[in-house]
Amino acid sequence: MPHRHGQVNYLIEGEGLITESEPGMPRAVSAPAPAVERMLRFSRLFPTLPKFRPAPQLLVTLAELMLDEAINDPSRDHPRLPAGFTYLGQFIDHDLTFDQTTDIPTDDLTLAQIIQGRTPSLDLDSVYGRGPELEEKRLYAADKLHLRIGLTTPTPFGQEQANTLAELPNDLPRGDDQTDTKLATIGDPRNDENLAVAQTHLAFLKFHNKVVDRLAATGLQGAELFAAARRTVTLHYQWLVLHDFLPRILDGETLSNVLVNGRKFYQFTVGEEPTMPLEFSVAGYRLGHSLIRRDYHFNVVFQDGGAPFELLFTFSALSGDLGGNPTLPSNWVINWQRFYDFSPAPLLGPEPRLNPARRIDTLLIPVLHTLPEGEITMAPGFPPTASLAARNLLRGRLVGLPSGQAVATLIGAPTLTPFEVFQGVPDAKAQPLRAAHLDTETPLWYYILKEAEVLNSGLKLGPVGSRIVAETFVGLIEASRTSVLADRAWRPTLPALVSGSSFTMADLLLFVNDLNPLEGPRG
């Protein structure tokens, strides 16, 4: 089951520190100065809007309406969003919020290093750590060029369907932490929280290594080769985020407007330390929770829904125990053809069991309403909740997010009507919330999901959600040390199905050439 790594403390620029144990109005920072100095800074996209803090019980009641009771209803499946993007989105989130200063004593870091190490960016620091010369973890091979890859543990289970008895190079590297040898040796330990994001991280390790080999053939060597490979990987990654991932979840007109005309609300000067917008972190980018499926067709062994969501956590080391194995068992290696659409690729053809993500709407699968960490509370004197939906809503209350209607009005977007806010909800269940006026002043996270559901049939975010997410991504890419937006004429250089102006996540995986290790290439 999910390992908790959600934000506990919010250091908000100009306001102070808000904690889950003492929500309400911001209090003076009482943590030791070095600890505060290393905290990720948050800010508000819409600082002039009033903070919306409805009664906690109202939010718990609202969360109860977000239970997806039709988990096997195919109409809830997203027709154009393969499930791999759910976990690519989580990988990207960890990259944005990765802290390179973890476990490094404060007196070993200068202020400049602290700022650089905690700054949100899209630099793949979660993969590269502090680089081959400074990184203390064994992320790198002896040549200081390649990233280390781990081996799976052979298992007889599934051998009648695939060669699971082989020791495959398809796990994260493990064995270095003497307190728990199962833990992955990777830049960001959170990427071993569940199997799907762990295999995504592995794909990026292999992507880097393939790029190193490709550039080495041109004569580059040593530090120059590594720097060129990292730059190539980072630029292609940012390109696919901007041109493959975001267009699948955002309104195209809004994304294009931000790319062409710039940011209106996410304000910082390129070259200075950016902050993380609360509206993005606590509301807009939490759309991923609604994309999660109840079960997955994972590979030839675990198909026909044979991989329930919970098992993705069991077969990780941060949340589970790898099923009792020292490394990932071979029968749990992912088949990428079930998570991304490779149908345009020559010879491959469509995978008959491609997993779609769920639509972007206000419904979350039942397991997300019964998380095990029930001791977590985000309102004083209010009992803990096991519901992820309730926690998200209470966290929005904690930091004082504005209402969805207030944001829509400010940015000039159409505002959902009171009827639309609870469209599809039985009157008896909606009535207490209407009586409390949550249909005219609605928590931002719920509003963003409902906006996608009502205005875009759950296929993409609406204008409020798209504006928040687009501005944040464009800003953080502009703030990255290596930025694809620094040279607008740059185009992908690696092989792609559409050459010259395209590079997608499917292209990345085709380049790595390890789509389905258990069965070999399809054809």
pLDDT at residue 8 tops 50: yes
Query: How many other CB atoms are there within 10 angstroms of residue 35's CB atom?
Result: 11
Residues 475/266, Cβ–Cβ less than 8 Å: yes
Q: What is the pLDDT of residue 282?
A: 95
Q: How many domains does the chain fold into?
A: 1
Q: Is residue 418 predicted with pLDDT exceeding 80?
A: yes
What pLDDT is stored for residue 370 in this prediction? 92
Percent of the chain predicted with pLDDT > 70: 88
Average pLDDT over residues 212-222: 98
In a domain, 517, yes or no: no
Q: What pLDDT shows up at residue 360? A: 98
CA distance 105 to 339: 40
Structural domain includes residue 411: yes
Q: Is it the case that residue 27 has pLDDT exceeding 70?
A: no
Residue 493 lies in a domain: yes
* Residue 511: both structure tokens together: 């380049």
What b-and-e string marks burial along 131-162, b requiring 16 or more CB atoms within 10 Å of the CB?
bbeeeebebbeeeebbbbbbbbbbbeebeeeb
Q: What is the pLDDT of residues 140-175, one digit of tens each?
A: 999 999 999 999 999 999 998 899 999 999 999 999
Span 258-280, mean pLDDT? Answer: 91
User: Does residue 464 belong to any structural domain of this protein?
Assistant: yes
Q: Answer whether residue 374 is part of any domain.
A: yes
- pLDDT of res. 5: 46
Average pLDDT, rounded, for the chain = 90
Confidence of residue 32 (pLDDT cuts 50, 70, 90): low
**What DSSP string describes 297-339?**
--SSSS-TT-EEHHHHHHTSSSSS-GGG-SS-BGGG---GGGT
Report the greatest alpha carbon distance in the chain.
71
Rounded to an integer, what distance in angstroms lies between the CA atom of residue 302 and that of residue 489? 44
CA atoms within 13 A on the CB side of 521: 11
Evaluate whether 7 touches 281 at the Cβ level (below 8 Å). yes
Higher pLDDT, 268 or 404: 404
Radius of gyration (C-alpha) of the chain in whole angstroms: 23
The type of residue at 366 is P
Q: Quick one: pLDDT at residue 523?
A: 34
- Within a domain: residue 521? no
Task: Extract long-range pairs of 321-325: CB within 8 Å, 24+ residues apart.
Answer: 321/182, 322/153, 322/182, 325/153, 325/155
Residue type, 125: D
497: domain CATH number? 1.10.640
**Domain with 400 in it:** 9-512
Q: Is 257 exposed, middle or buried (0-12, 13-18, 19+ CB in 10 A)?
A: middle
Residue 520 lies in a domain: no
In a domain, 380, yes or no: yes
DSSP assignments along 227-263, one per residue: HHHHHHHHHHHHHHIIIIIHHHHS-HHHHHHHHHH--
- How far CA 248 is from CA of 51, 106, 208, 510, in Å, comes to 31, 41, 25, 20
